[in-house]
Amino acid sequence: MREPLFNNVTIIGVGLIGASCALALKDRGLCGTVCGYGRKEANLKQAGELGIINEYSLEIKKACEHADLVILSTPVGLFKKIVHEMRDVLKENTLITDVGSIKGPLVNELEELMPEGVRYIGSHPIAGSDRSGIAHARADLFDGARCIVTPTARSEKSTVRQITTLWESCGGKVEIMDPMLHDQIYAAVSHLPHLIAYALVNTVDDSSAEYLKYAGPGFKDTTRIALSSPELWRDISLLNGKNLLALIERFEHNLNTIASLIRDADASGLEHEFSKARTLREKC
């Protein structure tokens, strides 16, 4: 077994991603003890029984007081509140990261909340899906997954290296990125598609809920992410609101272009719009 990277690891929010972090670290012998914190004791007990965590606490302070590494993996809207609660008990030199889908200004706000000597850098492993919960957690969830790491001007190089090692050790491919750029990119390729999927399902329901039984594989693919956690996507939508509002406008412009072409019966214009999209999509 390798020398553990971290003796005491605390997972705040033991869901799909948090539990998979714990399993990935344990599986590779990268940590000593894993402590879980969460609101639902039954879930934490089950995580213990499944060998995901070694111990747990329902009190954030207790869960964090011995931690060498804390991973924030609750819905992203809770991060600031959690850091406020834990900051007094953190040991000097503890490393904090998160796995949230929002970076941007939030990273700077979290950084400012950290007590002297505690190091924080944000992460965003692109893993998971519409599934959630520890039942789907896997030690290999991050194998080959892109992991965005978003240091700021205040981050120390040694800390960036440590976070990079953490994710690479779990199988991820690390990419260092400016937090603001992260939020622009993921607004377009992830957050907007979620809003669209939710709105599309609600639109079919406006016609008739009965119509949904005629949904084929195309509809199911297009709306699969509407199965995602409403609580999580509520937070993401609010925290990345500015980018999203601009993109919704842009998207509606593109959809209205198609509507105008239909209204004008402009066959070649429609084919051009669709071909442009298909050519781009083929590159994904």
Contacts (CB under 8 A) with its own copies, residues 135-154: 146
Separation CA 58–CA 47 (nearest Å): 13
Nearer to its own copies, 48 or 251 (CB): 251
> Smaller CB distance to its own copies: residue 89 or 145?
145
Total of residues contacting its own copies (CB under 8 A): 85
The piece of 23-31, 52-60, 107-115, 194-202 that touches its own copies (CB under 8 A) is 194-202
Q: Please tell me whether residue 207 binds its own copies under the rule CB under 8 A.
A: yes
**By CB under 8 A, is residue 81 in contact with its own copies?**
no
Rounded to 5°, the CA angle 249-250-256 comes to 85
Q: What's the distance, Cα to Cα, between the start and end of the chain in Å? A: 38
What residues contact residue 247 under an 8 Å CB cut-off, 6+ apart? 187, 188, 192
SS3 content of the chain, % helix, strand, coil (to 5): 55, 15, 30
CB-facing half-sphere around the CA of 232: CA atoms within 13 A:
25
Based on the shown chain and the rule CB under 8 A, indicate whether residue 130 belongs to the binding site for its own copies: yes
User: Which 8-state DSSP code applies to residue 102?
Assistant: -
Q: Which is nearer to its own copies, 67 or 82 (CB)?
A: 82
CB of 187 to its own copies, least distance (A): 8
Q: Which is nearer to its own copies, 152 or 222 (CB)?
A: 222
Q: Which is nearer to its own copies, 158 or 207 (CB)?
A: 207
Phi-psi region of 265 (alpha: psi -120 to 50; beta: other; left: phi over 0): left
3-state SS record for 116-162: CCCEECEEEECCCCCCCCHHHCCCCCCCCCEEEEECCCCCCHHHHHH
Q: In whole angstroms, how far apart are CA 173 and each of 105, 142, 275?
A: 24, 9, 32
For position 114 contacting its own copies by CB under 8 A, the verdict is no
Q: How far is the CB of 54 from its own copies (least distance, A)?
A: 31
Query: Of residues 5, 19, 82, 226, which one binds its own copies by CB under 8 A?
Result: 226
Name the segment binding its own copies (CB under 8 A); options: 41-49, 110-118, 155-163, 190-198. Answer: 190-198
270 lines the binding site for its own copies (CB under 8 A): yes
Q: Which tokens go with 69?
A: 């590494």
Among 263, 149, 251, smallest CA distance to 199 is for: 251
Q: Residues 248-267 vs its own copies: string with x where CB under 8 A?
A: x-xxx-xxxxxx-xxx-x-x
157 binds its own copies (CB under 8 A): no
The reply to whether 39 sits near its own copies by the rule CB under 8 A is no
**Binding range to its own copies, per CB under 8 A, among 10-18, 114-122, 124-132, 152-160:** 124-132
Q: Is 165 in the site for its own copies (CB under 8 A)?
A: no
Residue 190 tokens read as 């992830």
Instruction: Indicate whether 203 belongs to the interface with its own copies (CB under 8 A).
Output: yes
190: contact with its own copies by CB under 8 A: yes
222 is an interface residue for its own copies by CB under 8 A: yes
217 binds its own copies (CB under 8 A): yes
